[in-house]
Amino acid sequence: MVKYILVLFGVLTSASAQIMLKKSSGFQNWSRPWLIFILLSAFVYFVSFVLYFHVLKRFPISKIYPIMTICIILIITSYGFFIGEKISTKQMVGLLLGMCSIYLIFA
């Protein structure tokens, strides 16, 4: 059970760090909000790295890496959609194929 929680937190921290980087791009470089988001993102990336290390100890890399990557892509794309970014048909097909690949990895 713990190993699945590590995967969940690994995915969430990695996606959160990338979202914070996106958020920081809306501020002028070296401004206080920019610096806060950059530092938070770096810290969350570090946490994500540590979690990923522990996940790799518990799962075969050939299965867990694609799953974590696709989940991160799904979260970040969803975030983009909710902040008003356009999602193309090709992107949607790619996301669906990614979800199918998760099924096939575990089947």
Share of the chain above pLDDT 90, in %: 95
Average of per-residue pLDDT across 55-69:
94
Buried b (16+ CB within 10 A) or exposed e, 3-13: eeebbebbbbb
Task: Look at residue 107 in the predicted model and tell me its pLDDT.
Answer: 78
